[in-house]
Amino acid sequence: MPVKNRFAELQDEITVWRRDLHENPEILFETHRTSALVAEKLQAFGCDEVVTGIGRTGVVGVIKGKSDTSGKVIGLRADMDALPIHEATGLTYASKTDGAMHACGHDGHTAMLLGAAKYLAETRNFDGTVVLIFQPAEEGGGGGKEMCDDGMMERWGIQEVYGMHNWPGMPVGSFAIRTGAFFAATDQFDIDFEGRGGHAAKPQETVDTTVMASQAVVALQTIASRNADPVDQVVVSVTSFETSSKAFNVIPQRVHLKGTVRTMSREMRDLAEHRIKEICAGVAATFGGMATVEYHRGYPVMVNTEEQTEFAAAVARAVSGNCEDAPLVMGGEDFAFMLEERPGAYILVGNGDTAHVHHPEYNFNDEVIPAGCSWWAEIVERRMPAA
Amino acid sequence: MAATHEFFIEVTGHGEHAAHPEETVDPTVVASHIVLALQTIVSRNADPIAQGVLSVTAMETSSHAYKVIPQSVRLRGTVRTQSADLQDLIEWRLSDLAEATAQEFGGAARIEYLRHVPITSNATEPAAFAAEIATSASGGCGQAPLIMGGEDFAFMHQERPGAFIFVGNGASAAVHHPEYNFDDEAIPAGCRWFAELIERRTPAA
């Protein structure tokens, strides 16, 4: 069973939607036009229920199958937001908004889930209920978490959730997935070292924060090299270092460090946070200063559950003939919050040989549409087969 | 008073996404190693009897985002020395350590070293004469400690012999402090020293 014929027919129409979204990118929770357009289309397709304002600007649509003897409810999720990047593709339908761009293909994700919704509302060839989830603010805003916090899972009785992301470098329409931890937990930290500033010619009267913070930057490298289980994954990057003064003859009072931590397990995440605090406090104490560490937990580890992943891979194989094992991804994914609440799976679909996501020359490949839409439709029809 | 030199070090690595350290040469880690390595100039290379200070006073990454490993880091600082030998040693070791440390991590360091103010050193005979004047003007002349601050008068001393003297300002705030003020009670002693210096160095026939 390759792609569904209906999606070959719908491809041109879905491409028009996708390019319209591409031309009108909106960032974070500001997806007002996009959300309105999604809601309008879902209404027009004949969805049984369309609700806006879930997780601020998120949209939820409900399609009931021909029957509901299974009592199953499956959530399908797409993201709608763009990135604060100035587009450099030179496309005829390039972004009309300066400094905003669909550089991660969320235009394609939204268009494909709309395409699947149109088909599913037409055919309803399943036994159960589909909940279509369109989320804002995947790129750092935690829109998925806000939708969960609004009680979405309970309100619609969602039992399983599925998500999809296009992936440059994989053949168009091919699939890849992995069980267990898949995308990294992404945390940030701010560290302030407080010493005693003074004249640079009188070091004996100061507690030099630059030396202290440099010592800490070097010591933090040992979290990955000495504290972590070598089999586990962790990245600790100090990305910003700034002395409170920039003069050449003043030893500054404070140094501010910023950085990020990427981990693939709860244990490693806890260990990294704990060691960062311990190392900074210890180094500061060694030199007679003080360290204040603020550790901000961002997206959790995104974990695909085994049964749903096997099912999703089987569907992918049915659609495209194959499903590869995906590598671990050290980037973060907001869908992790939904997967923390319900079992489910997230899959990658090949975008061909394009620029990388988040690159100003990236573009979603419209040739992915038939395979992506078919996967969505088959997930529904196979997980909740019509009687 | 000390020679006052200033330096800039630009450490260039290779920036990339912070989740992919394997694709980067992290200039923050390199610069931190340089800051630590520079501490050994005074502790390990300098003659313990010579006086020198090397302070890295500013450090800034070229980017301040949480998830971007920056392309470069700029360090700035000062060097204070009381001898020509130590001046040369510090300048040489600073360049050497910064370049070698950067190279060790696959990065590069560019050093700018500016010799601003030279050492202010009093010539022996004029200094003894100046002290004698001070003693007669105020009844005593204390032995001044070495000062690690710099003094622009050093340039005049490079051209002509002479002496530089301190006159007490009482228990006021230190110079460069926002609450400092010159004490007008120092005026008679100061003026007397200048006047006597002239009258005794070039006595009227």
| Cα B127 from Cα A229, distance rounded (Å) | 68
The predicted structure's pLDDT at residue A383: 97
Q: Is A221 within 8 Å of B29 when comparing Cβ atoms?
A: yes
State the pLDDT confidence band at A223, using cuts at 50, 70 and 90: very high
Q: Mark yes or no for CB contact B76/A217 under 8 Å.
A: no
Kindly list the residues from chain B whose CB atom is less than 8 angstroms away from the CB atom of residue A202. 53, 148
Question: Does residue A1 have a pLDDT over 70?
Answer: no
pLDDT the model gives residue A230: 87
Mean pLDDT per 10-residue section of chain B, whose length is 205 residues? 96 91 94 96 91 95 91 96 94 97 97 95 94 91 91 93 95 87 95 95 93
Per residue in A224-247, pLDDT (tens digit) is 999 999 889 999 999 999 999 999
Mutation for B interface: A220, A248, A279, A330, most B CBs within 10 A? A248
Strands B72-81 and B52-61: antiparallel
Straight-line distance from the first to the last Cα atom of chain B, in angstroms, rounded to the nearest whole number: 36
| pTM flag (> 0.90) | no
Residues in A closer than 8 angstroms to B57, CB to CB, are 200, 210, 243, 245, 247-252
Cα B23 → chain centroid:
39
For residue B161, the distance in angstroms to the closest alpha carbon of chain A comes to 26
* pLDDT average, residue stretch A18-25: 98
Q: What is the pLDDT of residue A140?
A: 86
Q: Average pLDDT in the A345-363 region?
A: 95
Residues of A in contact with B76 (CB under 8 A): 246, 248
Give residue A302's pLDDT: 97
Model confidence at A26: pLDDT above 90: yes
Tell me the pLDDT of chain A averaged across its residues: 96
Using CA atoms, how far apart are residues B195 and A50, in angstroms rounded to an integer?
96
Residues of chain B numbered 65-94 and touching chain A (CB < 8 Å)? 65-70, 73, 76-78, 80
pLDDT tens digit string along A251-289?
Answer: 999 999 999 999 999 999 999 999 999 999 999 999 999
Say what the pLDDT of residue A164 is. Answer: 98
Q: Do B60 and A241 touch (CB under 8 A)?
A: yes
Decide: residue A204, CB within 10 A, 0-12 exposed, 13-18 middle, 19+ buried.
exposed
Measured in degrees and rounded to the nearest 5, phi and psi for residue A84 equal -80, 65
Spatial neighbors of B191 by CB under 8 A, at least 6 apart, are: none
CB of B37 within 8 Å of any CB in chain A? Answer: no
pLDDT at B48: 87
Q: Which of B33, B58, B148 sits opposite A201 (nearest CB)?
A: B148
Contact B38, A211 (CB under 8 A): no
Residue in B with minimal Cα distance to A189: B66
Closest chain A residue to the Cα of B19, Cα to Cα: A330
Contact A159, A332 (CB under 8 A): no
> Among B118, B92, B3, which Cα is nearest to B52's?
B3
pLDDT of residue B35: 97
**Record: contact B56-A211, CB cut-off 8 A:** yes
What single-letter DSSP state applies at residue A196?
Answer: B
Q: A192 vs chain B: nearest CA distance in angstroms?
A: 14
Give the residue from B63, B66, B39 showing the smallest Cα distance to B52: B39
Answer whether B131 touches A (CB < 8 Å): no
What's the gap in Å between the CA of B166 and the closest CA on chain A?
19
Token digits of residue A296: 């901000």
pLDDT digit string, tens, across residues A174-208: 999 999 999 999 999 999 999 999 999 999 999 99
For residue A246, the chain B residues in CB contact (below 8 A) are: 58, 60, 76
B64 interaction partners in chain A (CB closer than 8 Å): 239-240, 242, 258
Amino acid of residue B127? A
Nearest CA to A243 out of B120, B93, B58, B97 is that of B58
Is the CB of residue A283 less than 8 Å from the CB of residue A137? Answer: no
Q: Which residues 6+ apart lie within 8 Å of B87 measured at CB?
A: B3, B5, B79, B81, B115, B119
CB pairs under 8 A between A and B: 137
Residues in a beta bridge with B81: B3, B52
What is the rounded distance in angstroms from the CA atom of residue A182 to the CA atom of residue A345?
10
Task: Report the chain B residue with the minimal C-alpha distance to residue A331.
Answer: B19
**Strands A254-263, A185-194: pairing kind:** antiparallel
Provide the ipTM.
0.80
